[in-house]
């Protein structure tokens, strides 16, 4: 199995093209050949367009031939999670209800990649409407973990993580609502970034839970992931929640701290993330990583995030409530599937949604509708919003003491396909360490940190303050080098 | 009330109707079981006294309270301006049924 280490780096590809050592066309053809060779087993891509990618590569080769400066991501092969739009390309969101839909516009994050010279290999498989922790909820079949084909890649951005892990793309975009970038990054042994809420425009993202949804990159290294975030971040008039704060030069930060590493930093380790339910091998790997950071000069402080145990129930109330509202738009009127031969509008709505949505999406719409319905709103939805504030205040207090927080990304390594698919609560617990940062709006990154005895990757989650991605990248880069 | 009783089949049918979902006879008991399992787990939130806690709907609320000048920019709204929108022909190209100007749907009023 080719792994992420076999893939080129962003700067390596760009400079090789600039120096004439290779061409963008040659690079994209290598990745297209890998997809042809590997993806029958892994199933990361839902759609590819050979000619589109070659045309993008040709534009880069024209620039290089003229000796013009190359943009940041020149000739770098990317994959895009299929919940993000690219004009004229299918965008299924992993759902039958959007089968055949060709969006008439391009997501801001995707457009920014294209403007920076990226080459798009195709759209990536995911759980339906990004709802899931294993990629088994895709209407187009599960993705297989490149490290063990009988195991899940994690979810919901399973295709995005697996494509990088298998060397089928240099970097990919995913989305994270409760852990959907970080958890698959951990399961597949790659780097996955949850940017701060507001850092990246969501225009062109098919919405799941709008107060939580974020777009972020996957790559083989912290540096490449940071480079991609630098390209896609920034204010956008098309997303009122996107921040007007300036975007730092993350690569410059990484250069600056390449030698110093974590020396002098205060890193917090919350007791609540090392309690019951944590797999022994994951615990050993993360504690080993923390010891290495201590040896490298970081001050490790024990901290407490006391409301952590309430995060999963809080998340599943808020996320499903928002989903039940967002998914009301899929009704067979304007795009996608329409159930044939319905004699009234109301019947058409119901039959379209019955045919188009899978079981997990229906379950979440029902739950979200229930918690918002008359008589239950205060007990569930309002209560969850109150606990969301307590969870957020836990982090704000902790960041008064420490620069970043270290935890396992997931309680276990990748589990087997089918292992949890009949027990929604067990599946939801796969997100136990990731939903807290989602609710609080802070940033995080999952960085590979050892493997299990059977060779399954384990990820360390590094959490940072709002808009302080530079700090978590600095810690992540140090961890990679140790 | 035992946790398995929290959501009845009638409740499942009611929320299915509210959310325009047609559940099959097989799906109804399964969804009832799952909703009860999830809501049973959610019930632990009632352990917390939140009487004095303001609900948090958006991340920006917390940043505004933190009062950092740099993050205040989060709550700034853009100017209300007229801007071009998506091309009608492109949008209609995705519609299941259209006359080119309107979306066509089955009859709205049941008799």
pLDDT at position A304 is 98
Query: Which residue from A185, A156, A414 is spatially nearest to A281, judged by alpha carbons?
Result: A414
Nearest chain A Cα to B14, which residue? A370
Strands A404-408 and A171-176: unpaired
Tokens standing for A130?
């990004």
Cα torsion angle, A416, A418, A421, A426, sign: negative
Contact A241 B60 (CB under 8 A): yes
pLDDT-based confidence at A341, cuts 50/70/90? confident
Cβ density class A95-117: b for 16+ within 10 Å, e for less? bbbbeebbbbbbbbbbbbbbebb
Please judge whether A244 and B18 are an interchain contact, meaning their C-beta atoms are less than 8 angstroms apart: no
The alpha carbon of residue A387 is apart from the nearest alpha carbon of chain B, in Å, by 7
Contact A32, A57 (CB under 8 A): no
CB contact under 8 A, A380 and B71: no
**Annotated domain spans of chain A:** 4-256
pLDDT grade for A8, boundaries at 50, 70 and 90:
confident
Residue in chain B lying closest to A443 (CA) = B59
Coil, strand, or helix at residue A47? strand
Say yes or no to pLDDT of B38 above 60. yes
**Residues recorded for chain A:** 482
pLDDT of residue B75: 53
Start-to-end CA distance of chain B, whole Å, equals 42
- Which chain B residues are closer than 8 Å to A314 by Cβ? 45
Q: Is the model's pLDDT at A224 over the cut of 90? A: yes
Predicted TM-score (pTM) of this structure: 0.96
Q: Do B96 and A332 touch (CB under 8 A)?
A: yes
Contacts (Cβ under 8 Å, ≥6 apart) of A42: A143, A144, A146, A149, A162, A163, A166, A168
Predicted confidence (pLDDT) per residue in A23-71, tens digit: 999 999 999 999 999 999 999 999 999 999 999 999 999 999 999 999 9
Is B44's Cβ below 8 Å from some Cβ in A?
yes
Q: Which residues of chain A lie closer than 8 angstroms to B44, CB-CB? A: 309-310, 313
Pick A104's closest partner by Cβ from B12, B41, B91: B91
Q: What is the pLDDT of residue B110?
A: 66
Contact A441 B90 (CB under 8 A): no
pLDDT recorded at residue B69: 47
Question: What is the set of active-site residues of A?
Answer: 81, 156, 180
- Bridge partner residues of A270 (DSSP): A303
Distance in angstroms (rounded) separating the CA atoms of residues B36 and B7: 6
Which phi and psi angles does A445 have, rounded to 5°? -145, 140
Q: How many CB atoms lie within 10 A of CB A478?
A: 25
What is the three-class DSSP state of A354? Answer: helix
Question: Residue B58 — φ and ψ, nearest 5°?
Answer: -135, 145
Asked whether the predicted pLDDT for residue B64 surpasses 80, the reply is: no
For B9-31, how does the pLDDT look when each residue is reduced to its tens digit (9 = 90+)?
Answer: 999 999 999 999 999 999 999 99
Please tell me the predicted confidence (pLDDT) of residue A9.
Answer: 96
A254-289 tens-digit pLDDT: 999 999 999 999 999 999 999 989 999 999 999 999
> Is the complex ipTM higher than 0.95?
no
CB-closest option in A237, A343, A350 to B78:
A237
Min Cα distance B2 → chain A (Å) is 17
What is the DSSP-derived secondary structure letter of residue A416? B
Written as six digits, the tokens of A174 are 């995913």
Domain at A4-256, CATH homologous superfamily? Amidase signature (AS) domain (3.90.1300.10)
| Block residue for tokens 């709802």 | A131
CA–CA dist A178, A155 (Å, integer): 10
Q: Do A344 and B110 make contact, defined as CB atoms within 8 angstroms?
A: yes
Residue A2: pLDDT band by 50, 70, 90 thresholds?
very low
Q: Specify whether the CB–CB gap between B33 and B5 falls below 8 A.
A: no
Q: Strands A457-464 and A443-451, how do they pair?
A: antiparallel
Q: Are the beta carbons of A172 and A438 closer than 8 angstroms? A: no
Can you tell me which residue has the tokens 């799941």?
A208
pLDDT score for A1: 34
Chain A interface includes B1 (CB < 8 A): no
Per-residue pLDDT band for B111 (boundaries 50, 70, 90) equals low
Whole-number Å distance between alpha carbons of A187 and A182? 9
Are the beta carbons of A172 and A224 closer than 8 angstroms?
A: no
- Residue A438 corresponds to which tokens in the numbers above? 């989602």
Question: Distance (Å) from the C-alpha of residue A366 to the closest C-alpha of chain B?
Answer: 6
Q: Does B32 touch chain A (CB under 8 A)?
A: no
Pairing of strands A119-124, A45-48: antiparallel
pLDDT category at B70 given cuts 50, 70, 90 is very low
Instruction: Return the residue of B nearest to A466 by Cα.
Output: B63
Which run of H or E residues covers position A449? strand A443-451
Chain A CB within 8 Å of residue B65 CB: no
Q: Are strands A214-219 and A457-464 parallel, antiparallel or unpaired?
A: unpaired
């Amino acid at each position: 199995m080719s792994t992420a280490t076999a893939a080129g780096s962003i700067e390596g590809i760009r400079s090789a093209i600039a120096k004439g050592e290779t061409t963008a066309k040659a690079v994209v053809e290598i990745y297209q050949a890998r997809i042809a060779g590997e993806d029958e087993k892994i199933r990361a891509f839902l759609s590819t367009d050979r000619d589109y990618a070659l045309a993008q590569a040709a534009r880069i080769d024209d620039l290089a031939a003229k000796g013009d400066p190359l943009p940041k991501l020149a000739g770098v092969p990317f994959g895009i999670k299929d919940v993000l739009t690219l004009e004229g390309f299918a965008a299924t969101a992993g759902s039958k209800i959007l089968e055949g839909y060709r969006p008439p516009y391009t997501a801001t994050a995707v457009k920014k990649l294209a403007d920076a010279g990226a080459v798009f290999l195709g759209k990536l498989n995911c759980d339906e409407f990004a709802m899931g922790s294993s990629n088994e909820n895709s209407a187009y079949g599960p993705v297989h973990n490149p490290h063990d084909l009988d195991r899940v890649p994690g979810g919901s951005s399973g295709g995005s993580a697996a494509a990088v892990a298998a060397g089928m793309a240099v970097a990919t975009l995913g989305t994270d609502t409760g852990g959907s970038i970080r958890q698959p990054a951990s399961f597949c042994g790659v780097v996955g970034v949850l940017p701060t809420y507001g850092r990246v425009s969501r225009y062109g993202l098919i919405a799941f839970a709008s107060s939580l949804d974020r777009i972020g990159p996957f790559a083989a290294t912290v540096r490449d992931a940071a480079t991609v975030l630098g390209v896609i971040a920034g204010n956008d008039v098309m997303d009122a929640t996107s921040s007007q704060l300036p975007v730092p030069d993350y690569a410059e930060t990484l250069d600056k701290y390449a030698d110093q590493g974590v020396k002098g930093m205060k890193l917090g380790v919350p007791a609540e993330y090392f309690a019951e339910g944590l797999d022994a091998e994951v615990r050993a790997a993360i504690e080993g990583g923390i010891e290495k950071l201590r040896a490298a000069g970081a001050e490790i402080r024990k901290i407490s995030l006391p409301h952590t145990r309430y995060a999963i129930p809080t998340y599943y109330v808020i996320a499903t409530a928002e989903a039940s509202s967002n998914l009301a738009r899929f009704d067979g009127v304007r795009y996608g599937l329409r159930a044939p031969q319905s004699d009234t509008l109301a019947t058409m709505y119901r039959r379209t949604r019955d045919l188009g949505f899978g079981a997990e999406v229906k379950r979440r719409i029902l739950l979200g509708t229930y918690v918002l319905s008359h008589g239950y709103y205060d007990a569930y939805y309002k209560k969850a919003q109150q606990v969301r504030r307590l969870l957020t205040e836990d982090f704000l207090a902790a960041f008064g003491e420490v620069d970043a927080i270290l935890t396992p990304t997931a309680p276990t390594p990748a589990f087997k396909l089918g292992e949890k698919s009949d027990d929604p609560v067990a599946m939801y617990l796969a997100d136990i360490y990731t939903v807290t940062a989602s609710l609080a709006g802070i940033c995080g990154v999952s960085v590979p940190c050892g493997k299990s005895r059977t060779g399954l990757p384990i990820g360390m989650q590094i959490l940072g303050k709002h808009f302080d991605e530079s700090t978590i990248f600095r810690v992540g880069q140090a961890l990679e080098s140790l | 009330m035992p946790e398995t009783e929290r959501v009845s089949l009638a409740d499942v049918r009611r929320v299915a109707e509210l959310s325009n979902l047609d559940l099959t006879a097989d799906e109804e008991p399964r969804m009832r079981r799952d909703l009860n399992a999830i809501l049973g787990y959610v019930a632990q939130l009632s352990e917390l006294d939140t009487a004095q806690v303001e609900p948090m709907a958006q991340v920006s609320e917390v940043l505004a309270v933190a009062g950092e000048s740099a993050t205040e920019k989060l709550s700034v709204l853009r100017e209300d301006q007229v801007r071009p929108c998506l091309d009608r022909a492109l949008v209609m190209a995705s519609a299941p049924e259209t006359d080119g100007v309107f979306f066509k749907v089955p009859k709205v009023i049941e008799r």
